[in-house]
Structure 1
């Protein structure tokens, strides 16, 4: 895990010299967690996860000079990822509204050891809106505090808490709890 100072040094090197090796270290550091988050956000769509992760890192590299250091790089990166995901969702909705054929549903294959637990998690995540899913994943899967989720999503703290609360109720209904 990179220290805050190592992270800042890598970012500075990227911003000043366009160092691809420095950015590669950031990608190696944050890619697994970002990809896991996106894989859950997309309900197991590996192809979409790959596309969103690639777009996220490309956008981060292209705009690294705009990173102000007001938060950790991971926070900034996850914010880009969420924006990329929401842009994809908006585009898909617009395509459906334009009368294009609906995107085929891809069968989810979870790489979890306990397949039943994976199926249960997928069922729970599937009943949530995109916003609720993103907040739940950041809070429970990525173990981020609410204040960090506020920075990533740009939502007020009360809204984040409301989404978490509503999501818990919806997920409980999946199992009639």
Structure 2
């Protein structure tokens, strides 16, 4: 979807409360947003679906507050990021998927994954939420540091530090698994 088409759809949502226009925005952003949330939730599909739905509901309700300073995608990711952390706080962090449990519970997506993908997935799960979010946005969503800083409300230097720490943690986790064949 072009920026012009996106702006047109946003304008239709704001000016005439056009639900079909918002539906087109959802169609355009849903796959990437779900992938982002799936990484944040350490593969919890049900929680991802709930968070994605809440994100789009909040975006629809508050679309008039979108000022266009950042891109619509950045604004949407920020809502998703906030929803994730609100849910995490609500569940007191203990109820979110545990890294070890998630690794041991095969889902259909995990069963179809290659061994290398599982190793990377376990390495991602060894990261804290800030590191996992930064890695997801930078390496998976291909977002620039500046945009990640906006989404995460962090200075660019902190994003870079988080990415560096995450790479080191992932490297150690992957090397450990490869050296000891814990697959």
- Taking structure 2 as the reference length, the TM-score comes to 0.86
Tell me how far 1:108 sits from its aligned partner. Answer: 4.9
Tell me how far 1:115 sits from its aligned partner. Answer: 2.5
Runs of 4+ in 1 over 4 A off after TM superposition: 102-106
Structure 1's 139 and 103: CA in aligned 2 closer, same or farther, altered over 3 A?
Answer: closer
Residue number in structure 2 paired with 1:4: 3
Structure 1's 103 and 136: CA in aligned 2 closer, same or farther, altered over 3 A?
Answer: closer
Structure 1 residues without counterparts, runs of 5 or longer: 97-101
Aligned residues between the structures: 170
Tell me how far 1:40 sits from its aligned partner. Answer: 1.5
CA RMSD of superposed structures (Å): 1.8
Separation in 2, partners of 1:114, 1:46: 15
Tell me how far 1:103 sits from its aligned partner. Answer: 6.1
Query: Is residue 2:106 matched to residue 1:111?
Result: no
Secondary structure of 1:84's partner? helix
Separation in 2, partners of 1:157, 1:171: 21
Tell me how far 1:71 sits from its aligned partner. Answer: 1.2
Separation in 2, partners of 1:89, 1:120: 25
Tell me how far 1:168 sits from its aligned partner. Answer: 0.7
Tell me how far 1:84 sits from its aligned partner. Answer: 0.5
Structure 1's 45 and 69: CA in aligned 2 closer, same or farther, altered over 3 A?
Answer: same
Q: How is 1:80-159 mapped onto 2 (pairs within 5 angstroms)?
A: 80-93=79-92, 102=95, 105=101, 107-109=105-107, 111=109, 113-159=112-158
Does the 8 Å CA contact 1:45/1:108 hold for their aligned counterparts? no
Tell me how far 1:110 sits from its aligned partner. Answer: 6.0
- Taking structure 1 as the reference length, the TM-score comes to 0.89
